[in-house]
Amino acid sequence: MMLNPVTDAFAATLRARLPEAAFRPLTPAYLQEPRGRFHGSGGLLVCPGSTPEVVVLMRACAAARVGIVPYGGGTGLVGGQIMTDGPAPVILSLERMRAIRGVFAQENALVAEAGAILAEVQAAAAAQGRLFPLTLASEGSARIGGCLSTNAGGVNVLRYGNARDLCLGLEAVLPDGSVLNGLTRLRKDNTGYDLRNLLIGAEGTLGVITAAALKLYPQPEAEGAALMVVESPAAALALLSMAGRRIGGGVSGFELIGRMGLQFLAEKMPEIRQPFAEMPGWMVLIDLGLGAGQDPAAALEGLFAEAAEAGLVSDGVIAQSVAQRAAFWDIRERIPEANRKIGSVSSHDISLPLSVIPEFIARGGPALARIGDFRINCFGHLGDGNLHYNVFPAAGKTRAAYEHLRGAVKRCVHDLVHDMGGSVSAEHGVGRFKVEDLERYGDPAKLAAMRAIKGALDPLGIMNPGAVLRQG
């Protein structure tokens, strides 16, 4: 099943069948990913203006056996949007299909084309007093199609779920050019196999999502946040459990932040105000969104009092204003930026069963110390069991000095995660970066079933060749 490259003749065929507006210059942005680890080698950028135009394109590619690399906002971190080798593909961007087709406020639903920017979807919901809760650092450029194809996560997963949980229905073009008309706004529909969730998270290897019906939520009537100093990750978990019992579904975020993250902020971004006079070993950011007549500050005070009584927290600060809540979140959200300024040896997007997280953190440091001298910044979405476990050079050393250890570090962390029942890709996906990891750690029966499904739906292997599954 060798694919053919885009040739001048093939490009001419496409130009004859699609409007001129569908052809845009292939600027370098389409050939690189944010961390600079993947570089595309060329191809033809095609930007259809409608679902029928996507059909025309995909049929032509299937007939000519030309690969198609779907490209959303270009913010993926695992190279799913960049084909690094092989015959030059069509790069398919839905950037011209960005309409919000409808907001159904009473239904708490919104229908958007795949090229809509996440922030635009959030704004369209907010304009009608609703919340689209998917919230990511890259929301200003990520597109809904990419968010769904990668099953994006972010900071609100604890309460509202990931992209998968926020999708009611999909329209998609399958590799044979047929259109899956699943743009339902139904909350319940048990008529046949769940193709929606199969396409979500398939990273463009089974078809191209062209539009989606998304879930909205009421906007919380009252929001609040607190930072609480905890003795240990185990205490943080006990606090999470207590918060769930006391506040239930009102807990929107529960983020773990360690001393290393605060030190990196102090070192690289001293303008950010540190929340505690003495830098704590561990702290959590708790965010609440409550209904009418409820008082987030009071709920957080009650939680703190019970947690202090139980010996779980030793200090805390509750946001007294919208600005202070934003400042708390700013601490959390600028840690990745500080990380980039320090420069990691290896970064890991992992998840674990909640109860083993303390043990993982306890074992991770010593395991890495056997390889070299590192600083570890472990932080992230504790409520989801999702840690960003990033490994940095020791103070005063350069990233280059660790280049030869990068593979061993990744292997060490991922082996430990796998041994403890975790995932080596919690929210970023497989792309091309983690194809080997999937082969190493993935369940053999799952991989065989995935290959069978890929073969059944995309027998020519034209969709995002080499992503998720090695090209056959």
Could you say which residues in the range 38-97 bind a copy of itself, by CB under 8 A? none
Assess 221 for contact with a copy of itself (CB under 8 A). yes
For the bound state, the minimum distance from the C-beta of residue 409 to a copy of itself, rounded and expressed in Å, comes to 20
For a copy of itself, the closer of residues 186 and 395 by Cβ is 186
- Please, what is the minimum distance in Å from the beta carbon of residue 280 to a copy of itself? 22
* Residue 128 lies near a copy of itself (rule: CB under 8 A): no
Q: Which amino acid is at 252?
A: S
- Residue number, 186 or 322, with CB nearest to a copy of itself: 186
Count of residues in contact with a copy of itself, rule CB under 8 A: 102
151 makes contact with a copy of itself (CB under 8 A)? yes
Least distance in Å: CB of 61 to a copy of itself?
A: 17
Interacting stretch for a copy of itself, rule CB under 8 A, among 35-43, 81-89, 320-328, 429-437?
A: 429-437
Choose, by CB under 8 A, the member of 26, 179, 269, 317 that binds a copy of itself: 179
| 472 forms part of the interface with a copy of itself (CB under 8 A) | no
Examine residue 134 and tell whether it contacts a copy of itself (CB under 8 A).
Answer: no
Q: Show contacts with a copy of itself in window 285-314 (CB under 8 A).
A: 289-294, 299, 302
Find the shortest distance in angstroms from Cβ 295 to a copy of itself. Answer: 10
- 108 is an interface residue for a copy of itself by CB under 8 A: yes
Nearest-approach distance from CB 448 to a copy of itself, in angstroms: 7
Told to check if 241 binds a copy of itself by CB under 8 A, we report yes
Q: Does 191 bind a copy of itself (CB under 8 A)?
A: yes
Query: Which 370-399 positions form the footprint of a copy of itself (CB under 8 A)?
Result: 381, 383-386
* 355 near a copy of itself, rule: CB under 8 A: yes
Q: What is the 3-state secondary structure (H, E, C) of the chain?
A: CCCECCCHHHHHHHHHHCCHHHECCCCHHHHECCCCCCECCCCEEECCCCHHHHHHHHHHHHHHCECEEEECCCCCCCCCCCCCCCCCCEEEECCCCCCEEEEECCCCEEEEECCCEHHHHHHHHHCCCEECCCCCCCCCCCEHHHHHHCCCCCCCHHHHCCHHHHEEEEEEECCCCCEEEECCCCCCCCCCCCHHHHHCCCCCCCCEEEEEEEECEECCCEEEEEEEEECCHHHHHHHHHHHHHHHHHHEEEEEEEEHHHHHHHHHHCCCCCCCCCCCCCEEEEEEEEECCCCCHHHHHHHHHHHHHHCCCEEEEEECCCHHHHHHHHHHHHCHHHHHHHHCCCEEEEEECCHHHHHHHHHHHHHHHHCCCCEEEEEEEEHHHCEEEEEEEECCCCCHHHHHHHHHHHHHHHHHHHHHCCCECCCCCCCCCCCHHHHHHHCCHHHHHHHHHHHHHHCCCCCECCCCCCCCC
Q: Which of 274, 327, 453, 471 binds a copy of itself (CB under 8 A)?
A: 453
Among 1, 21, 63, 186, binds a copy of itself (CB under 8 A): 186
Among 201, 224, 233, 336, which residue sits at the site for a copy of itself (rule: CB under 8 A)?
201
The rounded distance, in Å, linking the Cα atoms of 302 and 256 is 20
Among 2, 16, 400, 445, binds a copy of itself (CB under 8 A): 445
| CB nearer to a copy of itself: pick between 180 and 279 | 180
Residue 419 binds a copy of itself (CB under 8 A): no
Cβ at position 100, least distance to a copy of itself in Å: 17
